[in-house]
Chains A and B, each alone.
Chain A
Amino acid sequence: GAGVSQTPSNKVTEKGKYVELRCDPISGHTALYWYRQSLGQGPEFLIYFQGTGAADDSGLPNDRFFAVRPEGSVSTLKIQRTERGDSAVYLCASSPTSGTTDTQYFGPGTRLTVL
């Protein structure tokens, strides 16, 4: 079956602009996660959704970052007033439930470059 998909695969924007990154999880997966991977680092947790609600957004760096999942499926990560330090690969993952032992399946990521 289809895996997690993310669009766009690459996004180049200018400092100060607004961007939206989209994630399509595996059908039926109720849990959805966003991570950010900077160069030379491992993925860093941003936010977790269980269904439509953000159960934990403690990883969001500041209030320029916001994410939604209005129908419990597709999620959008929104970044306002982008800064050069926001440049990274943004990864989305989904799992059947939010249980600790549920495997998280990752998408290929969106590479964001802020000039």
Chain B
Amino acid sequence: DQQVKQNSPSLSVQEGRISILNCDYTNSMFDYFLWYKKYPAEGPTFLISISSIKDKNEDGRFTVFLNKSAKHLSLHIVPSQPGDSAVYFCAAASSGGYNKLIFGAGTRLAVHP
């Protein structure tokens, strides 16, 4: 029973264009969401997060949108750069306890010149 789903295993985008990575969740107790980026042979690196009290959070080229009614979030990268090529994981957590992260399967983003 996957509580966090990333239905697109891969995405290819041209440099300079927008990359949109999607994530769906099923557990309504989740109230904190994160995106991690992973390069080969490295651990995941935190990218951006959003609390359920917000519907948008922006950090430079990265913006995360949260649609609670649809249980859906997305990560927008604008403009995309070749260095953004990595695997992106969506993760979710419930407050009131501790930060036990539930991850999606990841989306491999390839940004080509």
Contacts and interface: CB of A to CB of B under 8 A. Distances in A.
Query: Interface residues of A toward B: which range?
Result: 20 to 34
Interface stretch (B14-22, B72-80, B100-108): B100-108
Interface stretch (A12-20, A35-43, A62-70, A74-82): A35-43
Given A43-B89, A48-B100, A56-B100, A100 B32 contact: yes
Nearest to B39: A108
A91 B103 CA distance: 13
A108 B99 contact: no
B81 interface: no
Given A43-B103, A108-B42, A50 B98 contact: yes
Nearest to B93: A100
Interface of B: 4, 6, 9, 31-32, 36, 41-46, 49, 51, 89, 91, 93-106
